[in-house]
Amino acid sequence: METLKYKVITSEKQYDKYCRILHDLDFSEAKKTKAVDDEIDLLTLLIEKWDEQHRNFNKLNPVELLHSLMDDHKMQSKDLAEILGVNKSFVSEILHYKKGLSKESIRKLADKFKLSQEAFNRPYKLKSPANLRARYARARKSGKKLERV
């Protein structure tokens, strides 16, 4: 009997291994064949199934989710900038709640991490420098002490 190349994911270690393999297949310079496409589809299915059962993305806002996915995939902001086709400073502003995710960024992230777009397309509060300045100015006028957010 033939042994299976991939099995249902049963541990975090196996999950990480399959994510690395999928990443390598996705970014491989080699010509994509039907067999490679099938392997990508199978790994994606196994990873998605694990995520459904073990990860609760609905509790995280899109930026928290992005941080978690970057940690899981051992990614840095420069890797994310490459995926989104933007510069590192723009990614930094997203990760620090200064800029929101565009529709195009949401599409690219959902495709990259094999998640639904809804995971990244939820409301969350941005930290706008202009809003903070206005808040502090109002607080100074009123004499109230304002906690930093």
**Residue 103 tokens, joined:** 């529709």
Give the number of other Cβ atoms within 10 Å of residue 47's Cβ: 19
Is the entire prediction scored with pTM above 0.95? no
DSSP 98: S
| Position 101 pLDDT exceeds 50 | yes
> pLDDT digit string (tens) for 69-92?
898 888 999 999 999 999 999 999
Q: All domains of the chain, ordered by start, with CATH?
A: 1-54 (no CATH), 58-149 (1.10.260.40)
Q: According to the 3-state scheme, what is the secondary structure of 1-46?
A: CCCCCCCCCCCHHHHHHHHHHHHHHHCCCCCCCHHHHHHHHHHHHH
| Position 27 pLDDT exceeds 60 | yes
